[in-house]
Amino acid sequence: MISLEVSGLGFRYEKSPAWSIRNLDFMTYEGTITAITGSNGSGKTTLLRCISGLAPELYRGEIEGEIRLLGKNLKDMKRGDIIKLLGMVFQNPETQLFLSTVQDELTFGPENLCVTRDEIKERLERILGLVGIGHLRHENPSRLSGGEQQLVAIASVLMMEPRILLLDEVTSWVDVKGQDRIRGLLLELSDSGHTIVMVDHSKENILLADQIIEIRK
C-alpha cells in the first residue's frame, strides 16, 4: 500500500526569491525505508517540513503541488489527524526533550491527546522495551548522552503510534554504539510495517534504504 505520495511539490520560504525545492515527485510504500540525500542547502530538511505540515504552517512560505498521507490530502487534514499518522524526529534531540524524566517525555504526547491511562501504560512498557531504554525511564534526559537522548526522542514519537516516521539526520550527534542501536531499531520498525523517510549523509544508514532519492539543485 502507498503510504506517502508527493506530486509536483515545491516550496519557497517567505521573503525568499528562490524556491528551496520544486517539481518533486515520489512515493513510498508501507514497511519500507526511503533515504533522501543531496548536498547541503538542496532542500532535504525543507522536504520533511512540507511532508509533516510544518511548512507552511510554522515555516511560512508558498507551497505548490500535493502531498498525500495514506491516501489523504495533507491540505485537508487537521493537525491532530496528521500527528496520529506521522511523527518527525529532528537532528538535535535537545529540541524535542524538555521534561524532567524519560517517562514523562514519553507519556506527554498521548496524555495531550487524551489517550486512556491504561493505554498509555501499555504503550510505555512496549516502547521502552522496543527502543531498549527501560533502564533510563527515571533519568533526566538532559543528563543522557547524545545517543541516549536520540533514542528517547524516537521513543517519544513512537508513543503516538505513527505509521510514517520522518527522520532528519538522527545519527549525526550519536556515537558509534548509538548509531548501531538506531539502525537496528529502524530495521525493526520497517519490518513491523512502519514507513520511514530519512534525510541522511551516512553511507551506513543509506544502505538500509529500499529506495534512495537524491535532491539536486
CATH of the domain at 96: 3.40.50.300
Is the separation of the CB atoms in 45 and 199 below 8 Å?
yes
Contact between residue 25 and residue 7 where contact means Cβ atoms under 8 Å apart: yes
pLDDT tops 90 at residue 177: no
Lowest mean pLDDT among 8-17, 75-84, 107-116, 170-179: 170-179
pTM (2 d.p.) = 0.93
The Cα–Cα gap between 69 and 72 comes to 5
Give residue-wise pLDDT tens across range 193-207: 999 999 998 899 999
| pLDDT of amino acid 92 | 86
Range of the domain at 177: 2-215
**For residue 196, what pLDDT is reported?**
98
For 117-143, what is the mean pLDDT? 96
Non-local (6+) Cβ contacts of 127 within 8 A are 106, 155, 158, 159
* Per-residue pLDDT reduced to its tens digit, 29-56: 999 999 999 998 899 999 999 999 999 9
Domain total in the chain = 1
Q: Which residues is 213 bridged to in the sheet?
A: 36
